[in-house]
Amino acid sequence: MATAVRRQRNVGGMLVLLLGAAVFLNYVDRGAVGIAAPLLKSDLHLSPETYGIAFSAFFWVYAPIQLFAGWLCDRFSVYRLMSLGILVWAGSTLLTGFVGGFASLLVLRVMLGIGESISFPGSSKIIARHVPPESRGMANAFVAAGIALGPAVGTLAGGMIMAGFGWRVMFVTFGVLTLLWLLPWRSLVASLDTAAHEKTGRRVPVGALIGKWPLWSMSIAHAAGNYCFYFLLAWLPLYLVQSRGYSIAQMTLLATAGYSVQAVAAFSFGHLSDKWTRSGRSEGTMRRWMMVLSQAASAAAILALAFAQSTAMTAILLCIAGVATASLSLNLYAVAQMFSGREAAGTWVGVQNALGNLSGIVGPIVTGFIVAAAGYQMAFVVTAAVALFGAFWWLLAIPAIREVELD
């Protein structure tokens, strides 16, 4: 018995490690267009408005298709769905290196959104299935670290590749590296008794979730947090280069510092939250206050970035924003898994991600028009206001965090 339990934990650990790697590659590929923006934008003759549209095109499909992706994860082989999704998004990334203009870039951003739509419903389904509650913090910390390290490594490596070989080679390189993830994943999944996992548990219909306020309240919280994260992901490189006058190399180092701190914070939060849970104290209360404080810190850091003058202050504020984002990335999915339970985790996160990522559609376009009409400072002010709203939402609108009873 002890050997079987140990083997189950080892397999669960390997799955979490590969899920973290998949999310890492997800954010490398998703953020590549932001890294390439200073060169890509001029080469393809994109205005601020058209660049905002191209960036947001990813979310046109990514957000609504989450509903379908989550439903699939609760009903079919989530392991095979992960493989298929990565195949689609890796191919889209690779082909972006050959785009000739706005139209082809738009199409491939949409295809990237289709491929990446499986990542978070699939990851949450697998974590809920294979990871016990007392290890939930660290499991989601690997996902949160992937969200941070993707932009960190992507920005650093992408900046270096662009400086030496141009932005097209960067996309091709990222696409090929993502395809390589499939090799260890296929090997690990082949060792699992996947049929036994997929035949257990009831199938929770979407209709049983839609009427639940915890799902809607979490979706709104998700949208507020994502608005801030995608603002930094899409517009920070352009802001640092165009408005602050930094070189691409300097921009790369500043952005990488913030994302690296975010990754370290994610693992720290994961360890501390699991320690708290094992002590018998309320996991829900702890995660609520982590989110209130992190959203407030994010608002302060983003607002201050608009007025920061020195490089040192800019770096400090980016690190504070990174710490806040680490809490966001970890707790959004950990709390969703607490509300949904293992049987409905895929569908719940699919709906939550679909609604939460609507800010990815609206945000970059709104920011593009704000930048064109009023400059970057106003865009930072608006984003800080959204983050502050998120802090109050977590404090006042998220109900008691416990598994929802499903009819």
Q: Find the CATH number of the domain harbouring 170.
A: 1.20.1250.20
Q: Which two tokens stand for residue 196?
A: 């036994």
The number of domains in the chain is: 1
189 belongs to a structural domain: yes
191 belongs to a structural domain: yes
Q: What is the pLDDT of residues 35-89, one digit of tens each?
A: 888 788 888 888 877 887 887 788 788 878 887 888 888 878 889 999 999 999 9
Q: What is the pLDDT of residues 300-311, one digit of tens each?
A: 999 999 888 888
Residue 43, domain extent: 2-396
- Per the CB < 8 A criterion, the answer to whether 353 and 223 are in contact is no
> 3-state DSSP call for residue 8?
helix
> 3-state DSSP call for residue 22?
helix
407 belongs to a structural domain: no
375 belongs to a structural domain: yes
Using CA atoms, how far apart are residues 301 and 317, in angstroms rounded to an integer?
A: 5
186 belongs to a structural domain: yes
Q: What are the distances in angstroms from CA 273 to CA 13, 37, 146, 266, 404?
A: 18, 37, 18, 10, 21
405 belongs to a structural domain: no
> Which residue do the tokens 């370290």 mark?
264
403 belongs to a structural domain: no
- Per the CB < 8 A criterion, the answer to whether 384 and 299 are in contact is yes
401 belongs to a structural domain: no
pTM: 0.77
pLDDT of amino acid 70 = 82
Q: What is the pLDDT of residues 235-288, one digit of tens each?
A: 887 788 888 888 877 887 888 888 889 889 988 998 898 889 888 888 889 999
